[in-house]
Amino acid sequence: MGDAKTSQEMQRWQAVLRPILLGGMIVLISLSHYLTPLTYCHLHDIFQRLYYIPIILAAFWFGLWGGLGCSLLVSVIYIPHIMYQWGGTFMFEIERYLEIVMYNVVGGLTGLLTQRDRLQRHELQRTAAGLAASYHTLQGQSERIMAVEEQLRRSERLSTLGEMAAVLAHEIRNPLSSIRGTAEILLDDYRPGSPKHEFVEIQIKEADRLNRVVEDFLRLARQQQPAELQRCHVREELETIVTLTANEARRRGVALRLTPIEADLLVTADGEKLRQAFLNIILNALQATPQNGSVSIGLRQQGQQCEIRISDTGPGISDELKQRIFEPFFTTKPDGTGLGLAITRKIIEAHGGSLQVEGKPGSGTTMLVSLPLESSD
Ligand SMILES: Nc1ncnc2c1ncn2[C@@H]1O[C@H](COP(=O)(O)OP(=O)(O)OP(=O)(O)O)[C@@H](O)[C@H]1O
Ligand SMILES: [Mg+2]
C-alpha cells in the first residue's frame, strides 16, 4: 500500500519536473546559440549537437509524440538562427538544415522504439500478473483437493474401523454368551452360601462387563452418519453436557464454565450425536486440566456458522501432535481408546462442520467446532 502511494507520488513529480528540465535545456542551448558570436564557429557546432540531448530524453520519457514534439520545437527555435544570423543562404547553410531533419528523424525514431518497448513491457507485466493470479487459483484448488483427500483418507480409516469393530464384536460376543450361559447353569449347583457361588457370580458380572465394552466400542465406531436430523438449540445441548460433566469437573477440582450468550443459535443436527461430540471434547479438556485449572465453553455466531470454543488450561498440544490426535487409536492415556476425537470429528464433518485444534504447548488447548447455522428459509 505504502509503496504504491510513494511510486504514484514519484510519477506525479516526474510529470512536472521532466517538461521543466527539457524546457530549461532547450532555452539554455538556444540562448548560447543566439548570444555566442558567429566567429566561434566550433562552439556553434557543439551547441547544435547539444539539442540531441533534450530530443532523445523527450522521446524516452514521452514516446513518439514527445520526441517529435521536442524535435519540432527545437527546429522552430533553430531555423531563425540559421536564416538570420548565418546569412540566410540556403545552399550555404545546407548542412545545418540537414541537422534539423536529423533532429526530427532521431526524435521520431527514438520515440517510436521507446513506445514499442514500453508496450511490450506492459504486455509482459500483464501476462505475468495473469500468471500469478492463475498460480494462486491453482494453489488454492490444490490445497482444497489435499484437504478433501485427507478427509477421504480419514473416512476410509474410520469405515475400516467400523468393519473391524463389527467382526470383533461378533467374534467376542458369541463365546461370551456361551460363557455367561454356562456360568448360569453352574449357579444351580453352587447355591448362595456355597463358597464357589461368589466366583460364578464374578464370572457372570465380568462377562456382562465385557459385553458392554464391546457394545460401547461398536456404538462408537458406528457413530458416522447423523440418523435423526432436527432443529437443535446449541446452547441447550451444551448446557446438558455441562450438567452431565459437572460432577467430574468438581471431582477433579476444575472450574467448568459456559460463557453466557443471549442469542439462540440453531443448527440442523442429530442431537444425540452432537451431544456425544461435545461430551468427548469436554471430557478430554477436563482430563487434560490440572487441579484448580478451568475449562470454558464459548459460543458465538460467525457469519453463517455457529462457533463453539472449548478452551482448557491444560498442557496444550504440540504442532506434531495436532493432526495425530484425530487419528483413530491415537492416545497418550494409559486407559484411553484414542477414538474420542476421531469419532467427534467424523460427527461434526457429517453435519457439514469442522473441528480444529488451536493453542500451543504451555498455554492450554482450544478445540474449535464450527457448524453451519440453520438457514432461515
Ligand atoms: N484438551 C486436550 N489437551 C491436551 N491433549 C489433548 C486434549 N484433547 C485431546 N488430547 C490428546 O489427544 C489424544 C486423543 O484424544 P481422544 O479423545 O481421541 O482419545 P483419548 O482421550 O486418549 O481416549 P478416549 O477418548 O477413549 O478416552 C489424547 O490422548 C490426548 O493426548
Ligand atoms: Mg478422549
Q: Provide the residue range defining the domain that includes 299.
A: 230-372
The residue whose CA has the least distance to atom 8 of ligand 1 is 284
Same domain for 235 and 357: yes
Question: 272 falls in which pLDDT band (50, 70, 90)?
Answer: confident
Task: Name the DSSP letter for residue 84.
Answer: I
C-beta of 237 in contact with ligand 1 (< 6 A): no
In a domain, 8, yes or no: yes
181 CB within 6 A, ligand 1? no
The response to whether residue 290 sits with its C-beta less than 6 Å from ligand 1 reads no
Please indicate whether residue 368, judged by its CB atom, sits closer than 6 Å to ligand 1: no
How remote is the CA of residue 287 from the centroid of ligand 1, in Å?
Answer: 8
Which domain CATH number covers 308? 3.30.565.10
What are all long-range contacts of 25-30, with beta carbons under 8 Å and residues at least 24 apart? 25/53, 25/54, 25/57, 26/51, 26/54, 26/70, 26/73, 26/74, 26/77, 29/54, 30/77, 30/78, 30/81
Of 85-99, 108-122, 277-291, 362-376, minimum mean pLDDT range: 85-99
Tell me the per-residue pLDDT of 248-271, one tens digit each, with 9 for 90 and over.
Answer: 999 999 999 998 876 789 999 998
Q: How far apart are CA 300 and CA 264, in angstroms?
A: 10
| Atom of ligand 1 minimally distant from the CA of 335 | 27
Atom 22 of ligand 1, nearest CA residue: 331
Which range is least confidently modeled, 125-134, 168-177, 290-299, 342-351? Answer: 168-177
**The predicted structure's pLDDT at residue 145:** 82
Question: Coil, strand or helix: which one is 125?
Answer: helix
pLDDT greater than 80 at residue 142: yes
Residues 32 and 94 in one domain: yes
Choose one of 85, 111, 137: the last residue of a domain: 137
- Rounded to an integer, what is the distance from CA 158 to the centroid of its chain? 27
Does residue 312 have its Cβ closer than 6 Å to ligand 1? Answer: yes
Q: Indicate which atom in ligand 1 lies nearest the CA of residue 285.
A: 1
* Residue 143 within a domain: no
Regarding whether 88 and 212 lie in a shared domain, the answer is: no
